[in-house]
Amino acid sequence: MERYHQWLADPAIDEATKEDLRSIAADDKEIKERFYKELEFGTGGLRGIIGAGSNRLNRYTVGRATQGLANYILKEGTQDKGVAIAYDSRHMSPEFAQIAGLVLAGNGIKAYVYPSLRPTPMLSFAVRELGCTAGIVITASHNPPEYNGYKVYWADGAQVVAPRDKDIIAEVNAVASFGEIKEMAMDEAQAKGLFQYTSQAVDDAYDANVLAQRQSPEIIQEMADDLKIVYTPIHGSGNLPVRRALEKAGFHQVYVVKEQELPDSDFTTVGYPNPEDPKVFVLAQKLAEEKGADIIVGTDPDCDRVGAMVRNDKGEYVVLTGNMTGALLTEYILSQKKAKGTLPANGAVIKTIVSTEMIRPMCEAYGVELMDVLTGFKFIGEKIKGFEETGSHSYVFGFEESYGCLAGTYARDKDAVVATLLICEMAAYYKKQGMTLYDGLMALYEKYGYFREGVKSLTMKGLDGVEKIQKIMAAFRAETPASFGGVDVVWAKDYKTQAFKNLKTGEETGSPLPVSDVVYYTLEDGSWICVRPSGTEPKLKFYIGVKGTSLADAQAKIAAVEADIDAKVAAV
């Protein structure tokens, strides 16, 4: 209750916010949820439910985060370069973006703000295009409507990574009171040139870079009238950029889901706007049936994730998972570059540790190096920066199982605009051969093996949920399971303690990757299970990867592991 009363007494907090807080004075549970902690500025920034309170996203928590970032930039001495800001279609996104810009202005740092909603990858691009020292994007990605968030990028266009992330967090935490937040009035900020909107030229340059990622533009020209595409922006920021990219690339048969075309902060037609959930494609599927579409594509609110549905061998629309899309795109890009003689000798593909292992034999076949990184696209962005600095490798493609990928290095975050373009180009490529993308996927299984993956997410909300997640993680660390689904565990890898142990030989090694709250098990048959708390949602996630003798065998292996996980969690 102490924080609650501090807010009520704080002269820096406006009367409307205090009135909102007085309205919950008799609700101890609500007060506890809103005030049991400070909304933590973590390595990815802020994400939380919008509302008044220390554990909520509001003008004060956003202002404090921006003041901390400004203090860090001033200490670095890079304030003259300015900061780019973008936002999506969520509640309060434009307002939070403006507050961030005016706090930067109050600290003498120029803010370059997009004049209307834009995809997250366009922010990543703008940071580099405008030569900024940092970037901010206001988004909660695919979270439910009551959430919003605040992500910080650095000069290379990627989200901040260690040790810079910890240094920024320290500066944010050092802002002891809201009275320390320096916010300039809009009129003054614009008059002094410290708050300005980005120009059309930035959008045009982004579009040109996206179009440059086409592997075989001639295939699009040849198949443009034949390939039918249904697209849904799911009420988010992808509507204009994705349609522009498809139009400029030459696709003629693009049908947009009208009910989901315009921005809608409540995501009325879906509620939970995640392209990983097939339910968001109900309206798109209806339109696809009407138009006889070859492919359905949907992007999440900040347009960094893409989901797709394609026709199977029975003509029914089926979901492509992020792993399936990643594998198809990797094969397509590698094969096209090899055919054209543009595959670099030092080429590298990057994936996260929880993404499909099908990429391993694929990269071996094409003679490119495969690199694994921790979950989070910022680690792929960090690798790209390293390649540029050392010249050790040439980036070819990167993806993560959670429906995000990037071709090209113009951005340093996953980009659903370029992903949509390449998925449609790939569909045109297969259609020219009389195949669907589903047929292409089946061909990959025959070529590389029947790799299948699953994700089991356990949602645990509130303070009780946080404690339960911690308890389950502690249990898995305290006693390594002997087996999953009847198959023995060989390697137990704890990325938090950095200790890797072979249970069969007793061999012990250290981790090649940074510290993270992740436990990873490799089984005797090559299957793997990874356990980690979500960094953005109140979820505990179990990732599963198997290789079967057939699709049915692979699916049976996943089912056996999932049942075993249920039993293990129930026993905690």
Q: What is the 3-state secondary structure (H, E, C) of 107-169?
A: CCCCEEECCCCCCHHHHHHHHHHCCCCEEEEECCCCCCCCEEEEEEEECCCCECCCCHHHHHH
Name the pairing type of β-strands 134-138 and 147-154.
antiparallel
Angle between helices 200-211 and 239-249 (to 10 degrees): 50
Query: Token pair of 16, please?
Result: 């409307």
How many alpha carbons fall within 13 Å on the CB side of residue 471?
12
505 CB-near residues (< 8 Å, 6+ apart): none
Distance between CA atoms of 564 and 555, rounded to whole angstroms?
Answer: 14
319 burial via Cβ count (<10 Å: 0-12, 13-18, 19+): middle
Q: Are strands 487-494 and 499-502 parallel, antiparallel or unpaired?
A: antiparallel
Instruction: Report the C-alpha gap between 384 and 409 in whole angstroms.
Output: 7
Cα–Cα distances (Å) from 124 to 119, 134, 156, 469, 513, in that order, read: 9, 9, 8, 32, 24
Q: Which of these is catalytic: 141, 237, 516, 527?
A: 141
Contact 455, 528 (CB under 8 A): no
CB 330 within 8 Å of CB 397: yes
State the Cα–Cα distance between residues 72 and 78, nearest whole angstrom: 9
Q: Is 141 a catalytic residue?
A: yes
User: What is the set of active-site residues?
Assistant: 141
